[in-house]
A = this chain, B = another copy of it.
Amino acid sequence: MITDITSEFIEELIDLIESKSNKKIIDKLKDFHPADIAEIMDDLSFEQAIYVFELMDDDIVSDIIVELEEDVRERILRRLSSKRIASELIDDLDTDDAADILAELPEKKKQEVISEIEDVEHAADIVELLRYDEDTAGGLMAKELVQVNENWMILTCVKEMRRQAENVDRVHSIYVVDDDEKLLGTLSLKELLTTSTKTPIKEIYKKDVLFVEVNEEAEEVAIMMQKYDLFVIPVVDEIGRLVGRITIDDVVDVIVEEAEKDYQMASGISQDVESSDSVWHLLRARFPWLLIGLVGSLTSGHIIGLFDGFIQQYILLITFIPLIAAMGGNVGVQSSAIIVQGLANNTIRDGGLFKRIIKEIALSLSIGIVLSVIISLYVVTQKDPLIYALIISTALTVVVVIAALIGTIVPLALDKYDIDPAIATGPFITTTNDILGVFIYFSIATMFLH
């Protein structure tokens, strides 16, 4: 069922585009889902992508547009007139997708497109959605939903649903509201199907319903829907009126983006990139962290340089530099990754910082001691002077404990001040620990050998 898009397929398509074989292109793409066509377009050059786009059927162009990568979409929208954007794209889209696309347009064009939308209600809904920050529940929600009044009978309800369903692609849930549009509960399809048509809704609806407030953070909504296995969640305004609903597909995107961002951060990539991006784009995403690493490692080198006379006297010391750096770096990354992941999936409790630190010290001390035993045995087998076993064991243990503490405390502190804790992972922690590591190592060595 999954259509595999191979490099060969893309090359064949490019050949068809170059020879302007429109019919063959349409034929080649006709069985693909709009999401696949968007993926294919992302793999083409911009001129090729727009060529394909112009050949597509009117009723799928809006679905293709929402699935495109942001930069490709932006360039295509720049080409299209406001009238075309309104009639071919926005009119066909649900309010949430329509608002997302409008939000990407320059202010002037956005106003032009809005004024061109024919359905006034649709336009009003979109304008309302544009007011919310994209990282909030309001930014995720759509206005399309089915709501019924608590005072209606089942029969009225079914009639009203028929009317409303015309505007709703999928009925996810039936929301029950009072005369002030305040959310009271939900009516299950099961209830609707199995109850006599004269029963008042009031008597059968489910009262306790999970909802989010319109200003709730998107990440919190994601955690909640995931935890409680929800497909859709209603959104209420500050005074409890039903204003929209968020579906799980949009939340999955939030979850995946968050996870990808954390992963990229830990791997030292500062922007959202894909292997198919241009060399220039990839370079810009990779260079900032490398620069931090460069400065950090030159600082480490500088510290080593401070001990050069001493090192010349005890040259064996240099063979343990990689060990000290690697262990400090690895332990620090491990500690920070556990904290970052715990913060991301909300399993880290507020409070209890002192206990957490004690535990991390216990853990890293154990690691340090086990590593020290191994390294001492190694020194003995190498027939190196025993004092080195003592120096390296002491340095290793101190470095590992400090690295673990930095890895634990830094992300927690960043999170406290609402900074993304993920920036504490990867090159940042490694670099800090590198610098501290060599300094501690040579200081301890000086103490023991002088």
Contact of A263 with B266 at beta-carbon distance under 8 Å, contacts A1-B216, A349-B43 already known: yes
In angstroms, Cα B293 to Cα A210, docked, is 47
- Scoring A residues 215 to 229 as 1 if CB is less than 8 Å from chain B, else 0, what string do you get? 010001001101111
A438 proximal to B (CB < 8 A): yes
Please give, as numbers and ranges, the residues of chain B lying within 8 Å of A226 by CB-CB distance. Answer: 249, 252-253, 256
In angstroms, Cα B294 to Cα A386, docked, is 19
Please give, as numbers and ranges, the residues of chain B lying within 8 Å of A166 by CB-CB distance. Answer: 190, 194
A155 proximal to B (CB < 8 A): no
Please give, as numbers and ranges, the residues of chain B lying within 8 Å of A28 by CB-CB distance. Answer: none
A337 proximal to B (CB < 8 A): yes
Starting from the known contacts A296-B326, A308-B319, 19 additional A-B residue pairs (CB-CB under 8 Å) come to: A1-B224, A10-B349, A165-B189, A170-B190, A229-B249, A231-B247, A260-B341, A262-B263, A266-B337, A269-B334, A276-B347, A294-B375, A298-B322, A301-B323, A304-B322, A308-B316, A322-B434, A325-B325, A329-B430
How many of A's residues come within 8 Å of B, CB to CB?
130
Binding site secondary structure of chain A: helix
> How far is the CB of A384 from the nearest CB of chain B, in Å?
10
Interface-facing stretch out of A74-82, A83-91, A123-131, A366-374: A366-374
Indicate how many identical chains form the complex: 2
A180 proximal to B (CB < 8 A): no
- Scoring A residues 166 to 189 as 1 if CB is less than 8 Å from chain B, else 0, what string do you get? 101111100000000000000011
Please give, as numbers and ranges, the residues of chain B lying within 8 Å of A33 by CB-CB distance. Answer: 210, 227-228
